[in-house]
Amino acid sequence: MTSPNDPGLTVTALLRAHVAGDPDALEQLLPQVYDELRRIARRRLQRERADHTLSTSEVVHDAFLALLPMDQVDWQSRAHFFAVASRAMRNVLVDIRRSWTQPSRCSRLHDRPHTTASYSRVGGSPPNN
């Protein structure tokens, strides 16, 4: 397949090689795109709240995982890859924002009235008040 030390392969060529089944292509791709992905993530994080909990690296890693499996995309160019990666980063950050605004699942469960029916479904009995 591709030579691990071939610096002549472009991002687009590596993406296409990965789609074609080259197991080494993804390993070669990451070092070539990582710095640019961090720049994109840094710009996106600058638009977020000051108390944001994710680091630049975490945004990059979460977005990269969201892009997997990459072999199902018809990669057109380097710019196409970075546009899709930027969108994945945006989605990661939007999901975090949503989690801040939604009450936790536990708090919603505690707000529900406890009925005998709800206890019988889980095999317990209602507390004695």
Query: What is the extent of the structural domain holding 41?
Result: 11-111
Q: What is the pTM of this model?
A: 0.67
Q: Which CATH number goes with the domain that contains 75?
A: 1.10.1740
Confidence of residue 106 (pLDDT cuts 50, 70, 90): low
Classify residue 1: in a domain, yes or no. no
Confidence of residue 78 (pLDDT cuts 50, 70, 90): very high
Whole-angstrom distance, CA of residue 49 vs CA of residue 112: 32
Length of the chain measured in residues: 129
Classify residue 3: in a domain, yes or no. no
Q: Taking the CA atoms of the chain, what radius of gyration do you get in angstroms?
A: 22
List, for residues 35-61, the tens digit of each pLDDT value: 999 999 999 988 887 776 788 888 899
Classify residue 6: in a domain, yes or no. no
Classify residue 73: in a domain, yes or no. yes
- Number of domains, the chain: 1
Classify residue 119: in a domain, yes or no. no
Classify residue 69: in a domain, yes or no. yes
Two tokens, residue 5: 């030390």
Helices (H) and strands (E) in the chain, counts: 6, 0
Using an 8 Å Cβ cutoff, are 62 and 92 in contact?
yes
Q: Is the pLDDT of residue 121 over 60?
A: no
Confidence of residue 111 (pLDDT cuts 50, 70, 90): low
Q: Is the pLDDT of residue 120 over 50?
A: no
Classify residue 65: in a domain, yes or no. yes
Classify residue 81: in a domain, yes or no. yes
Residue among 49, 118, 106, 57 at smallest CA distance from 127:
118
